[in-house]
Amino acid sequence: MTRVRFRPRPSVKVPFAIRLLKNSPMAIFGVVIIALNVLLAVFAPSLSPFDPYGMDLGNRLFAPGATHLFGTDQLGRDILSRVIWGSRISFEIGAVVVILSVVIGVSLGLVAGYAGGWVDETLMRITDIFLAFPALVLAIFIEGAIGPGLTNAILAIAVVSWPTYARLVRGSAMSIKENEFIEAAHAVGEGKIRIIFGHIFPNLLSPITVQSTLDMGGAVLTAAGLSFIGFGVQPPTAEWGAMVSNGRDFIAFAWWMTAFPGLAIFLFVLGFNLLGDWLNDYLNPRLRGVE
Amino acid sequence: MVKAVDGVTFSLKRASALGIVGETGSGKTVTALSMIRLIQEPGRVIGGAVNFDGRDLMSLSEREMREVRGREISMIFQDPNTSLNPAFRIGDQLSELIVRYNKEVERSDLNFAGVSWLEAVGISDAKRRISSYPHELSGGTKQRVMIAMALLSKPKLLIADEPTTALDVTVQAQILALIRKLKAESGTSLLLITHNLGVVAEMCDEVAIMYAGRIVEQSSVRDIFSHPKHPYTKMLLEAVPKPGRKKLIPIPGSVPNLINTPPGCAFHPRCPRVMDICSKQTPLLKSTAELGTVACHLYAEGEKEVKV
Amino acid sequence: MKTSVLVETDGVVKNFPLRKSFTFLSKERPVVHAVDGISLQILRGETFGLVGESGCGKTTLGKVILRLINPSAGKVLYGGVDVLTLKGRKLKNFRKKAQIVFQNPFGSLDPRMKVRDIVGYPAKLHGLVNSAEDLRRVALNLLKRVGLEEDHLLRLPHEFSGGQRQRIAIARALSVDPEFIVLDEPTSSLDVSVQAQIINLLQDLQAELGLTYLFISHNLSLVGSVSDRVGVMYLGKVIETGRTEEVFKTPSHPYTQALMAANPIPDPEVKHSIELIKGEVPSAISPPSGCRYRTRCPFVMDICSTAEPPLRPVSRTHFSACHLEKPAN
């Protein structure tokens, strides 16, 4: 029997990812922004100089200065503290929305993609119905029905976000299903459940990861939009979108009330978008079995 | 840097057929593309000359080169699906070329000319099929259209890169017969790139064997099969399935990674007759006593095989 | 050595319905007749070659035999038992005994699984290993048997070449200790030298383990080299079958003759490949009546369009489905 010596290629692992990351300044910038936000969220109590809800009517509408780095709003609350605490809420919104929409969307997408036939048709038509509405409009609709507030805003945004995952997963599951390694799993005697969760699902992780990274920013943006028009978070909660909305009436002479929370939203979304883009480039070629 | 092709020298006579045989990574396709300067970034031709009909193609301007390509040198490729534009009918694609290369054809006669070409390449019901889109045609028919498109300019040289690899055996036989017939009628030279030794045996007058970017042996088709000189050629012939052959004799090891080509002769790690010098010095292509060349330290210039 | 029948198909038919198309006005959905009534036998310990051009149904037949696809009609008997009646434990047992190696080395391995798991999990599934230690040991043995090494265990498929991946696929097929393996174009995408290595490996394994092979390929010369008996398929039917030497030396059916004539031989002294065949393969949706080959056959007669020829003996070990009294010449 021929015994052959082969020289295997280097294993592609985490060190490789870090090396690749170094080549992309945009991605590094994104990671840095996210890291900063994480720090703010985690250490909010220690980092925030004032109580974000502490009203100080004697110091209303102060411009940014030595004590109040980002100024104060019309109730004398320190904007910097509110921005810092706002990062907690942003992460909460992003994380919960993503988790909910992933759970719902991926389950439906997997079933539709694997089962095919009328199951697929039915599920996809339902998905289409949800996708037919502009996200913001549908969220307003839902909140109009169940009432405003942070929790309800999160639910509404999740309802609007899951169809993307369902579509994504269904398409990917269908194409993965056509691969011969799925047939090989059948041939070896693996059951349907094992094939779906042991083979199809792990190969979906990449598109799901990319989409959820981008959705972190997207969810926060939608929440900000909702708060801006009065749905979503209610006062006095220090959510960035609500802060921008709050500052609307004062924008002519207290620009800092809208500028800083607005900047915070921008950076948060940008950070996740940059990371998501880089992840997309990094994960995709590997999937195609680049030699 | 990957040296896909490293010092390839060969000659092709008028109206004859040269086969370039090699496995993956041998550099055969890159050689052909380099000859007509179709190598794209980040690849680059960094040296050598291509003497075609008295001119060095490497010294021509891009504009002059474009005149040569398609008119004097035509190329057909392996995958008929990607070579024809799926958005246009084949009649239109043919007409575009007829207008460019057969200026004497009147516009009103374009369809007739197109149909004649389709018939010349053996496509039945040509009058109807000329209005088809590529996806409506079978693989064999698409290859025939490609051949028509390549030959309508009456080129001096036809380069065919694995033209029948994607086709069924019976279709392949038809296409090869067609190429032979058209070549005989028009006196076109043929450069045939393939990994299939059977195809080469049928179609070519001379054969060059490539390995890791170099030509390791070149001689007449008879000599390559009956008196192979290079150990790689010998082993390749033993490994190929042949009716009646019960055992295939494999070549141990694998084709070298072009980033890390073995020093000296690239084949030496797999060669059963390896000597000390083989890992130190790259053998040059030398002429041997019989007509033909080989790049191997077992042979000295002008001699038959070295007695070991 | 016993020459008992291990696998037998009896009138296997497989149709694939097409999506409704506007060009088909009839109420019936058009159907592709991929496999249309095939009855053959594969003997224990032999290599049965199934050869034909694209669209003849050979891959579909291979998958029906393994019950990866359910036939539209007909039976598949494995060791005398109807495979289609198997359920639960018995079905799982069948999967343990009958395995497959696919054509495409790039799609047949899960890109996210380590080689150790690709090769070891099937054994675990069938209760052949009991611990992680065991699995690793079994996987390592299998890799070594197919010519790979220990440091390949923890690598991912994309780190290997095509030939190496086929070795992994073969190791996976062997991991459940099978008796019968369907080899579906196992070397079609590999270089000549790598192909020879893989074929050698398969032949060594067959001798060592007493395996039975169904070798599916469009490469006539390759099938001629590796098979003991051969079946030639055209448009869903087996039109000639018998001992390889006989079929190759004296092909009886006009289609087989055309295939042999068309096959390029690596020997310039042999005559050019000739076209004994005209035209293109007819559609598998509405195949010609009677003998399917009649639209391209140089010897066609009246009876060919009305009656389908059954497989008639040319010798005790050679059969051909043709109306001609004597073998075509």
Q: The CATH number of the domain where A163 resides is what?
A: 1.10.3720.10
- In contact, B15 and B187? CB cutoff 8 Å: yes
- C-alpha–C-alpha distance, residues A11 and B35, integer Å: 37
- The verdict on a CB contact (< 8 Å) between C222 and B199 is no
Nearest CA-CA partner of B282 in B249, B302, B256? B256
Q: What pLDDT was estimated at residue A165?
A: 93
Q: How confident is the model at residue C206 (pLDDT cuts 50, 70, 90)?
A: very high
Percent of chain B clearing pLDDT 90 (strictly above): 30
Residues of B in contact with A4 (CB under 8 A): 252-254
- In contact, C234 and C255? CB cutoff 8 Å: yes
pLDDT tens per residue across span A94-131: 999 999 999 999 999 999 998 888 999 999 999 999 88
| Across A46-69, average pLDDT | 83
- C-alpha–C-alpha distance, residues C115 and C153, integer Å: 5
Q: How confident is the model at residue C1 (pLDDT cuts 50, 70, 90)?
A: very low
Q: What pLDDT was estimated at residue A290?
A: 37
Neighbours of chain A (3+ CB pairs under 8 A): B, C
Instruction: Identify whether A202 is part of a domain.
Output: yes
Instruction: Identify whether A70 is part of a domain.
Output: no
Q: What pLDDT was estimated at residue A288?
A: 43
- Distant-in-sequence, close-in-space partners of B282: CB < 8 Å, separation ≥ 6: B214, B264, B265, B266
| Across B124-153, average pLDDT | 89
**Percent helix, strand and coil across chain C, each rounded to 5?**
35, 20, 45
pLDDT tens per residue across span C104-161: 888 899 988 899 999 999 999 898 888 889 899 999 999 999 999 898 999 989 889 8
Neighbours of chain C (3+ CB pairs under 8 A): A, B
Q: What pLDDT was estimated at residue A11?
A: 42
Q: Which of B174, B200, B202 is opposite residue C272, by nearest beta carbon?
A: B202
Interface probe for C, chosen from A2, A7, A14, A188 (most Cβ of C below 10 Å), is: A188
Residues of C in contact with B168 (CB under 8 A): 53-54, 218, 281
Nearest CA-CA partner of B11 in B302, B211, B219? B219
Lowest mean pLDDT among A55-64, A80-89, A90-99, C201-210: A55-64
This model of the complex carries an ipTM of 0.86
- The verdict on a CB contact (< 8 Å) between A5 and B253 is yes
pLDDT tens per residue across span B200-230: 999 999 999 999 989 999 999 999 999 999 9
Mean pLDDT (chain C) is 89
Q: Does B248 touch chain A (CB under 8 A)?
A: no
Model confidence at A10: pLDDT above 50:
no
Instruction: Identify whether A181 is part of a domain.
Output: yes
Q: Does A7 touch chain B (CB under 8 A)?
A: yes
**B:C CB pairs within 8 Å:** 136
Instruction: Identify whether A53 is part of a domain.
Output: no
- C-alpha–C-alpha distance, residues A138 and A146, integer Å: 12
What 8-state DSSP symbol labels residue C27? S
Q: What pLDDT was estimated at residue A284?
A: 66
Model confidence at A291: pLDDT above 60:
no
- In contact, A72 and A83? CB cutoff 8 Å: no
> How close B68 comes to chain C (CA, Å)?
32
Give C262's strand partners: none
Interface probe for B, chosen from C190, C191, C244, C257 (most Cβ of B below 10 Å), is: C191
Helix axes A79-115, A25-42, angle to 10 degrees: 120
Residues of A in contact with B24 (CB under 8 A): none
List, in sequence order, the alpha helices (H) in C22-114: 58-65, 88-97
- C-alpha–C-alpha distance, residues C203 and C217, integer Å: 16
Per the structure, the count of domains in chain A is 1
Model confidence at C178: pLDDT above 90:
yes
pLDDT tens per residue across span C43-76: 999 999 999 998 899 999 999 999 999 999 999 9
Residues of B in contact with A5 (CB under 8 A): 253
Q: Does B253 touch chain A (CB under 8 A)?
A: yes
- C-alpha–C-alpha distance, residues C111 and C105, integer Å: 11
Model confidence at C172: pLDDT above 90:
yes
- In contact, B286 and B293? CB cutoff 8 Å: yes
Q: What pLDDT was estimated at residue C232?
A: 96
Model confidence at A29: pLDDT above 80:
yes
Q: What is the pTM of this model?
A: 0.84
Interface probe for C, chosen from B138, B145, B167, B170 (most Cβ of C below 10 Å), is: B170
Residue in chain A closest to B251 (alpha carbons) equals A2
Residues of A in contact with B252 (CB under 8 A): 2, 4
Instruction: Identify whether A210 is part of a domain.
Output: yes
Q: Does B272 touch chain A (CB under 8 A)?
A: no
**Pairing relationship of beta strands C180-184 and B189-194 according to DSSP bridges:** unpaired
Residue in chain B closest to C267 (alpha carbons) equals B201
- The verdict on a CB contact (< 8 Å) between B251 and C265 is no
- The verdict on a CB contact (< 8 Å) between A7 and B253 is no
Instruction: Identify whether A99 is part of a domain.
Output: yes
Name the residue range of residue A245's domain.
90-284
| Across A52-79, average pLDDT | 83
Instruction: Identify whether A96 is part of a domain.
Output: yes
Residue in chain A closest to C201 (alpha carbons) equals A1
Highest mean pLDDT: which range of A50-59, A79-88, B46-55: A79-88
Residues of C in contact with B254 (CB under 8 A): 161, 163, 194
Residues of C in contact with A200 (CB under 8 A): none
Percent of chain C clearing pLDDT 90 (strictly above): 58
Model confidence at C24: pLDDT above 60:
no
Q: Which of C163, C203, C264 is opposite residue B202, by nearest beta carbon?
A: C264
Q: How confident is the model at residue C249 (pLDDT cuts 50, 70, 90)?
A: very high
Residue in chain B closest to C199 (alpha carbons) equals B248
pLDDT tens per residue across span A227-254: 888 777 877 888 888 888 888 888 888 8
Q: How confident is the model at residue A270 (pLDDT cuts 50, 70, 90)?
A: very high
Nearest CA-CA partner of C218 in B31, B166, B273? B166
- Read off the tokens for B107: 């516009």
| Three-state secondary structure of B208-268 | EEEECCEEEEEEEHHHHHHCCCCHHHHHHHHHCCCCCCCCCCCCCCCCCCHHHCCCCCCCH
- Read off the tokens for A15: 């060190």
Q: What pLDDT was estimated at residue A5?
A: 39
| Cα distances (Å, whole numbers) of residue A169 to A114, A135, A194 | 10, 20, 17
Mean pLDDT (chain B) is 87
Neighbours of chain B (3+ CB pairs under 8 A): A, C
C16: helix, coil or strand? strand
Highest mean pLDDT: which range of A9-13, A234-238, C226-230: C226-230
Residues of C in contact with B222 (CB under 8 A): 268-269
- C-alpha–C-alpha distance, residues C39 and C3, integer Å: 18
Give C180's strand partners: C98, C212
> How close A265 comes to chain C (CA, Å)?
36
Q: How confident is the model at residue A2 (pLDDT cuts 50, 70, 90)?
A: very low
Instruction: Identify whether A55 is part of a domain.
Output: no
- Read off the tokens for C6: 């291990």
Residue in chain C closest to B206 (alpha carbons) equals C268
pLDDT tens per residue across span C94-106: 999 999 999 888 8
pLDDT tens per residue across span A196-232: 888 998 888 888 988 999 898 889 888 888 888 877 7
Helix axes A180-188, C162-174, angle to 10 degrees: 20
